Structures are given as structure tokens and as C-alpha cells.
Copies of this chain bind each other. A is one copy, B any other.
Amino acid sequence: MLKEWMNPQKPEPEELAERLGAARERLARQQMQIKEKKLPVLVLVEGWGTAGKGSIIGRIIKNIDPRFFTVAAMEEPTEEEKRKPFLYRHFARIPEGGKFTFLDSGWMDEVVKERLYGGMSDEDYEARIGSIRRFERQLTDNGYLVIKFFLHISHEEQTKRIEKLWDSKDTRWRVSKDDMWQNEHYKRCRGAFDSYLRSTNLPSAPWYIVDAKSAKWAELQVLETLTQGIEIALNNSSMAVPLLQNVFPLEKMPLLAEIPLDKTVDIEEYHKELKRLQQRLGELHNRLYRKKVPVIVAYEGWDAAGKGGNIKRITGALDPRGYEVHPIASPEPHEKARHYLWRFWTRLPKTGHIAIFDRTWYGRVMVERLEGFCSENDWMRAYNEINEFEKELSDWGAVILKFWVQIDKDTQLYRFNERAATPEKQWKITDEDWRNREKWDLYENAVNEMLQKTSTTYAPWYVLESVDKRYARLKALRIMIEDLEKVL
């Protein structure tokens, strides 16, 4: 990219000023349309040290109302962030619909540095490039405008800038160690940048190389490219994108109708076993805390299937400082305004911790599908997006357990009626539950498709037969123990 890239012709000062004025006005106008159309705009500004990333962002945002944008400067990952998957802090920063996020360097900077002097192996680098390509593709597939700039200056220019900053005590602090290292190893860095730019130059999220020698001229290049990209995105209303082939190893799952639900457990046996299993899980919890293994437990199932009680038996065994339960309801407005996985990315556990989700990201292919909250292309794409999401977690080292809590239609009716008749349980049963029940067959269909398409070897689904809730609880505990023992 850098080798091919040709310095566009810098206009004369008069023309430059004129075009700058026009581009600034255009951006100011566009911010309102962006808001109206709820377009999320992610602007990634990468580039050489001292190329002026921060200053260019400063110039651009002058044209935008502060309510409509955020600027995030990439820092070294915090201790907290280091205990999350690589993409976590990047995913967490994506804008909501109708707003801009400007990133003063981002995932490129992080990965290339690790490659250049962080001791990252070629294999890990390739894997990271894969993650990044999937990440950016997921954003654009889900309607994000992703615009990526690389601010380019020559070796000579960088040297000059560093020397100038160094000359004065007031500015010396602005020369970072990274800048110095880059300058000393300019050619090697250029090679690494180049290879990164090439392998992440996606048609839907292409790179733009900016001649950053003159600040105004750089601003013009960024503004004109940005406003052009925005215009194109504004004109594209919901567009469908190709569905990708599954590349993840799937486990064969039975259809729900094929699963016998007559399994029970004797009540005495239950109490004895519960105690034994909980004690064992408690031990394992300590061990995974020490070994820093993150664990993600996902619960889905029919209304009144017994998810809550099942989760309680798990958490009953755990040290409260080491787990969190996330009850998932309809998304809040600020969550709905972002990629549907955002609210799950931001709720991931730290290494050594357990996160339990009471309902999950699988809402996309169940309720959102059936209630028409997303387009057909959206939910059909979601199987792959979710497999990619869980692969990211698995590659990070997480143990992922997914439970489908299964009952039959009659059992549900019985429990609904029981809830309705029991004053202290009435809050548990709503009109929506009854309405969902009417769509049982549609849901069963959707659940079957979900189980077939997302039960990967690294994040398998387990069906918990929960007509006898106690049976289901013991089974959940046993599976969890077994899976944890494998990694501990």
C-alpha cells in the first residue's frame, strides 16, 4: 500500500482554502443526516509517530456538534483490558447509530507494535489479522461506516519533527519511545505497516493513505474522503450482504422433538448429589481463578423451563467475588443503537472469572428473528457472526458452555397456570409469555436451526431436560465440572 500509494497533488493555497471550506461545511451538514438516518461512523486514524494523528482529529471535530462524536485515544491496554480478549476494548468503543467515533490509532497500532517489538509470532499475527478482518467485516455488514486513514510522512520528515520537538524542553515530552524506535527502524516499520495495510484492505472498509506533511493539506484529504464516504453510506439504505459459508467445526445436534423428557432424579439422591457437585465446582472455581481461565455460561430455554433455578444452583457453589450473572432483557436504546453483539462484548468476564448469561446473544436468531426486529439477512448472517464471536472467546482461552433448558408444551402450560394461581409467583408470568407460547412451533423451528448451526466443538450446546428441574440442575453442574476439569 505505502509503496504503491501516490502522493496526490497538493493544490495551491487558494484552492486548498476553498476546498477546505467546502468540505468543512459539507461535514457540518452531514452530521444532521447521520443523526436522522442513525448511521454509525467509525473513523480510525492510524499513522507514523509525529504524523499528527491527534491534531488532525482535533481539526475535523471542530465541524461536528460535541453531542455527535467521541474521540478515543489508544493507550497501552490497562491491566483490566489485558484480562479481556484482544478485540474487547476495540469493540467496546464502536459508536452508536447517528454518531461518530474517532480513534486516535487503534487495533492496527496495537498489533503492529506487538509484531515489531512485542515478540508476537507470525502465527499469532496471522490469527490477529483474521480477527481484525472479521471484526471490520461484521461492522460494515451490520451497517457501520468504517473509514480508515493512515497518516504518512517520510523518514526525513519524521526525523525533522522529532528533532524539533526534542529541541525545546516544553515539547520534549511529546516524543515517545515508540516514536524514537520507529525513526531508528523506519524501513522495517514501513514494511510492517505495508503488510498490515495490504492484508486488511477490505473493499467495504478500504484504507486511505494521507500525505501528512502539511497539516492543512492532510485535513483536506481526510475531510474530503470522510464526507464522500458518508455520502455513499447515507444513500445506501439497508443492504443485504452475502452469507458466508460455515468454517467452524460443528457437532451434530438432535432435534428438540427427538429428545426424551422423562428423565428424573430421586429427591434424596438429588440433595446428596447437589451438595457433592457444588462442592466440587467450588474447588474448580478457585483453581480457574488462580489459573486465570475465563468461563462463559449461556442459558437459553423456554419460558418457565427453570433457567433461574438452574443458575441459582450453579452460583450457589461459587465465590461471589469471582462471578457475575447478566440477566438479558430487551436491549436499552443505547444498546439497540449499536452492533447487537456490543452489549455482550462489554459484559465479558475478566480472565479467571465466570460470567453467566440468563438469555444471550442468541436472541438475534430467536426473538429478533421471529418478531421481525431485524431483517432476514441480519439473522441469517448471525449464525456465522456468533460462531465468529465465540471463536474469538475460545481462542482467548475461554471455556464456553451453552445450555438449552428444554421442556414440552404441556409442562409449560402447567407451570404458567401454577404461576398465575400463586400470588407470589404472578410477577413471573406476563402477557408476553402467553403470546410467545402461541408461537411455540415457530420458536421450536428457530431453536432447532440455532442448535444445528451454532453447536461448535469449541462452544457446544447442551440440552438440559428440565421437566424434572432437579435432573436439569444436576446435569448442568456435571457438565460444567466435566468441561472445567478438562482445562484445569
Contact = CB atoms under 8 A, between A and B. Distances in A.
Interface of A: 1, 4-6, 8-9, 137, 140-141, 202-209, 225, 228-229, 232, 235-236, 239-250, 252, 377, 380, 452
A470 B140 CA distance: 55
A1 B247 contact: yes
A8 B380 CA distance: 16
A439 B27 CA distance: 30
Nearest to A231: B240
B9 A247 contact: no
Given A6-B250, A203-B203, A207-B245, 4 more contacts: A5-B245, A206-B244, A229-B243, A235-B377
Instruction: Among A207, A209, A245, find the residue whose CB has the most chain B CB atoms closer than 10 A.
Output: A245
A2 to B, nearest CB: 10
6 contacts: A6-B246, A9-B252, A141-B203, A204-B242, A232-B240, A236-B239
Given A137-B203, A203-B141, A228 B243 contact: yes
A6 B251 CA distance: 11
Instruction: Among A208, A209, A242, find the residue whose CB has the most chain B CB atoms closer than 10 A.
Output: A242
A208 B245 contact: yes
Contact of A232 (B4, B204, B243, B249): B243
Instruction: Among A140, A203, A235, A250, find the residue whose CB has the most chain B CB atoms closer than 10 A.
Output: A203
A380 B141 CA distance: 23
A376 to B, nearest CB: 9
Contacts of A247: 1, 4-6
Contacts of A141: 203
A242 B8 contact: no
A196 B319 CA distance: 50
B6 A209 contact: no
A241 B205 CA distance: 10
Nearest to A221: B245
A332 to B, nearest CB: 30
Contacts of A241: 203-204, 232
Contact of A229 (B137, B239, B242, B252): B242
Contacts of A6: 246-250
A208 B245 CA distance: 6
Contacts of A236: 239-240
In the A-B complex, the 7 residue pairs with the closest CB atoms: A4-B247, A232-B240, A208-B245, A239-B239, A6-B249, A236-B239, A137-B203
B228 A232 contact: no
A248 B248 CA distance: 39
Contacts of A248: 4, 6
Nearest to A252: B9
A229 B140 CA distance: 18
B5 A209 contact: no
A250 B203 contact: no
B245 A240 contact: no
Nearest to A225: B245
Nearest to A237: B239
Nearest to A205: B242
A5 B246 CA distance: 7
B242 A232 contact: yes
B206 A242 contact: yes
A229 B377 CA distance: 11
Given A245-B5, A247-B1, A204 B207 contact: no
A241 B140 CA distance: 11
Contacts of A243: 228-229, 232
Given A240-B232, A247-B6, A204 B206 contact: no
